[in-house]
A = this chain, B = another copy of it.
């Protein structure tokens, strides 16, 4: 295992120490729980809190979006493992400014179970919470059972929308409503070319042959919908767009944002070559692209591969997407 780490069991702790040392004054760990990262950026009085949580190994997801106009707090689990309900409850408490907290996280069994418990704990302390689940991966379940879908890179758009909505003074109900509406128009699919290694395990959990690519693979290495011979960037773009559009058709005149997300081991050059293909296909059909995101937003450590996310915008979500936001890992500053 060629990882630049120390003891595998210290992976999360040391990563968090590195992050908080590097970004002092911007984010910090709670004194009472060193698995909760909270924002130290200025925030508007009485703002609705936005909280997420999930396993480590996906940087910048999840904790990288703790910042201004984004998340207030994040519960940090071990690599690919859910944080505890207690840690989530601590994150909710830290994010509450008296007007409630939105819990916004990926649709995984452990996270759902633990966040449900955390919300019950918060409820006993008279902190109002609402939950919005991210389930954007079209490859993970057919449309009829879309409630079973996993949350992947589309959650970054959801964080951005919820954060901007809260920052603009909306109530908890309004923030939840607009975030849910945004998510109804967000779809993602990914492909993988190599596996990744959980530090504590020390070896890949699966393999992909030297001439093959797995279509629809999840960000923890969950099985995709097919294993195919390695194909061109253009073919990958086409295949992903077709799968997304089977689920959410796009029409001429639609305004969308596109995220090309590198899974960790895929060079930025290749991400732009995939973006080029997506841009070609969509613009030729009269679809407008607003604020494309190209880079590593939700990774699987050293996994090679990419995902493409399409976010169909309406007037309100477009404005929220474009609002200024910043964290140590994400900046939207387009003035």
Give chain A's interface residues, CB within 8 Å of chain B.
Answer: 2-6, 11, 14-15, 17-19, 21-22, 56-57, 59-60, 193-194, 210, 213, 230, 232-234, 236, 264-276, 279, 283, 292, 294, 296, 299, 301-302, 304, 306, 326, 331, 333
Q: Do A269 and B57 touch (CB < 8 A)?
A: yes
Q: Do A269 and B304 touch (CB < 8 A)?
A: no
Of the candidates B213, B275, B326, the one whose C-beta lies within 8 Å of that of A333 is B326
Q: Do A4 and B274 touch (CB < 8 A)?
A: yes
Provide the bound-state CA to CA distance between A269 and B279, in Å: 31
- Residues of the B chain whose Cβ atoms lie less than 8 Å from the Cβ of A266: 4, 302
- Residues of the B chain whose Cβ atoms lie less than 8 Å from the Cβ of A271: 4, 18
**Can you name 16 A-B pairs with beta carbons within 8 Å?**
A2-B230, A2-B304, A3-B267, A4-B270, A4-B273, A11-B269, A11-B273, A14-B273, A18-B272, A18-B274, A21-B275, A22-B272, A22-B292, A56-B269, A264-B265, A331-B333
Residue of B at shortest CB range from A14? B273
Kindly report how many copies of this chain are found in the complex they form together: 2
Q: Do B22 and A275 touch (CB < 8 A)?
A: yes
Provide the bound-state CA to CA distance between A95 and B267, in Å: 29
Q: Do B267 and A301 touch (CB < 8 A)?
A: yes
- Residues of the B chain whose Cβ atoms lie less than 8 Å from the Cβ of A14: 233, 272-273, 276
Q: Do B294 and A22 touch (CB < 8 A)?
A: yes
Known: A194-B2, A267-B302, A299-B268. A275 touches B233 (CB 8 A): no
Provide the bound-state CA to CA distance between A60 and B296, in Å: 13
Q: Do A4 and B331 touch (CB < 8 A)?
A: no
A214 to B: closest C-beta gap in Å = 11
Known: A18-B279, A273-B11, A333-B326. A236 touches B2 (CB 8 A): no
- Residues of the B chain whose Cβ atoms lie less than 8 Å from the Cβ of A56: 269
- Residues of the B chain whose Cβ atoms lie less than 8 Å from the Cβ of A292: 22
- Residues of the B chain whose Cβ atoms lie less than 8 Å from the Cβ of A264: 265, 267
- Residues of the B chain whose Cβ atoms lie less than 8 Å from the Cβ of A296: 268, 296
Top 5 A-B residue pairs of the complex, sorted by shortest distance between their CB atoms: A18-B272, A18-B276, A59-B268, A4-B270, A267-B301
Q: Do A15 and B272 touch (CB < 8 A)?
A: yes
Most buried by B among A22, A193, A299: A22
Residue of B at shortest CB range from A17? B276
Q: Do A273 and B2 touch (CB < 8 A)?
A: no
Q: Do B4 and A279 touch (CB < 8 A)?
A: no
Provide the bound-state CA to CA distance between A304 and B266, in Å: 11
